[in-house]
Amino acid sequence: MVDFALTEEQKGIRDWVRTFVEREIMPMENEVLRREREGAAPGLTAEEGRELRELARKSGFWGVQTPVEYGGMGLDAVTAAVIEAELGRTFLTFKFGGEADNILFHADRRQREEYLLPTIEGTRKSCFAITEPGAGSDAKAIRTRAVRDGDHWVINGEKTFITGGNEADFALVFAVTDPDKGADGGVTCFIADREAGWTSEPIDTMGERRPASLVFSDVRVPHSAVLGEEGNGFRLAMQWIGKGRYLLPARAIGACERLLEMAVRYANERTTFGAPIADRQAIQWMIADSEMETEALRLLVLRAAWQVDQGADSRHHQSIAKLYGGQKANEIVDRVMQIHGGMGYTRELPIERWYRDLRLLRIYEGTDEIQRRTIARDLLTGRVKVGSSLD
């Protein structure tokens, strides 16, 4: 049986999030655009984000995928994807509270009290730090080194493009602990408090994100700062990256929907040469292609999420969804800008902002080329068979 219907519960959650986005977040959009035009930092302020999270919490919306025993909602991957799509309908980046990095759940009893629970509560902030100036796609090439010194480890190295790295109280930092083994048992993840001495510098980007470069210069952490097992860091890093890849293109679904709605409205309103531009085939085809691709993206994302819920190996389909989402969202925002003509290029409307922000989807958490590499390798090695997606 193939069933494309959401459950009544999923529809209820989707509708609740849609209303929350429309009532609480969208009314802030114009004000944020105005602030940005005047040179303010992009996006919601930390205080605005906190107030929105608290408001949602009062309605029980807290910890979307956090297990119920940790006070979360413990929702499945399909529902999480549906929620992301709704959040994507605004260009203002917002996440519900009550979440922690999935690998923090490997914490021991002390780490659980000191890091995991406060992160879920929102009183402490983490960042995930693997990328280095010389190691991005090729994460196995990291050179940050941790050397044992009695009951401590001494960390030296540089990390770059770390999301939240400027705001984090602690870093989940990956360092080589056994150069002979490298990624195969020689990388360890450490929970490093900012007070241990690492420093951060913001990196300006073309979009809303302001990641950071982190410098570790003789940073000493106790052995108890090891997350999980010594030498098991690379596997943890892959678990972090792999878990929610479908959520990135899920958010793009919402952006594509909202952009397409803007294009439809504008095409019907804007008149040239005595007729609405909606009457022109050139415009209709851009609208048709955008609708077709948004619907295809929705199915790819939900399929990958469904596989996660089945406990199946979803890597292949998560890569397909991420690649397709990055490509198509960028094509769609470009068409929607085209349909809006000069207005699309201004900073009065959010289109140019989305144009800059959506570009990131083709780069972070696995570039387009790395997704293609995964997909092709799966087929070429026979790990995945052509046409086996319904098996």
Ligand X SMILES: Cc1cc2nc3c(=O)[nH]c(=O)nc-3n(C[C@H](O)[C@H](O)[C@H](O)COP(=O)(O)OP(=O)(O)OC[C@H]3O[C@@H](n4cnc5c(N)ncnc54)[C@H](O)[C@@H]3O)c2cc1C
**Least distance CB 72 / ligand X (angstroms):** 22
When the beta carbons of 162 and 191 are compared against ligand X, the nearer one is 162
Among residues 57 and 359, whose Cβ is nearest to ligand X? 359
Answer for which of 131, 188, 318, 374 binds ligand X (CB under 6 A) is 131
d(CA 79, CA 65): 9
Work out whether 53 is an interface residue with ligand X (CB under 6 A).
no
- Asked if residue 161 binds ligand X (CB under 6 A), the reply is yes
Q: Is 291 a catalytic residue?
A: no
Q: Which of 102, 163, 239, 338 binds ligand X (CB under 6 A)?
A: 163
Decide whether 19 or 199 has the Cβ nearer to ligand X. Answer: 199
Residue number closest to ligand X, CB atom: 136
Which residues, numbered 3-42, are part of the site for ligand X (CB under 6 A)?
none
97 binds ligand X (CB under 6 A): no
364 counts as binding ligand X under rule CB under 6 A: yes
Distance CA 36, CA 167 (A): 20
Q: Does 375 bind ligand X (CB under 6 A)?
A: no
Binding piece for ligand X, criterion CB under 6 A, among 52-60, 181-189, 193-201, 369-377: 369-377
373 binds ligand X (CB under 6 A): yes
| Chosen residue from 20, 94, 128, 246 binding ligand X by CB under 6 A | 128
60 conformational bin, left if phi > 0, alpha if psi -120 to 50, beta if neither: left
Q: Which residues pair with 220 in a beta bridge?
A: 154
Binding residues for ligand X restricted to 272-291, rule: CB under 6 A: none
CA atoms within 13 Å, Cβ hemisphere of 259: 36
Q: How many amino acids of this chain bind ligand X (CB under 6 A)? A: 21
Among 37, 369, 383, 389, indicate the residue that binds ligand X (CB under 6 A).
Answer: 369
Letters for 184-223 (x = contact with ligand X by CB under 6 A, - = none) are ---------------------x---x-x------------
**Encoded amino acid at 241, one letter:** I
Question: Residues 170, 195: contact at Cβ < 8 Å?
Answer: no
Q: Among 143-151, 264-272, 303-311, 361-369, which window interacts with ligand X (CB under 6 A)?
A: 361-369
Binding to ligand X by residue 102, rule CB under 6 A? no
Question: Would you say 15 or 369 has its CB closer to ligand X?
Answer: 369
Closer Cβ to ligand X, 42 or 136, answer by number: 136
Give the CA angle between residues 195, 142, 100 to the nearest 5°.
50
Work out the angle at residue 315's Cα, subtended by the Cα atoms of residues 312 and 317, and round it to the nearest 5 degrees.
90
Residue 36 structure tokens: 């940005």
Instruction: Say if CB 127 and CB 171 are below 8 A apart.
Output: yes
Provide the annotated active-site residues: 365
Query: Which residues of this chain interact with ligand X, rule CB under 6 A?
Result: 128-131, 136-138, 161-163, 205, 209, 211, 360, 363-365, 367, 369-370, 373
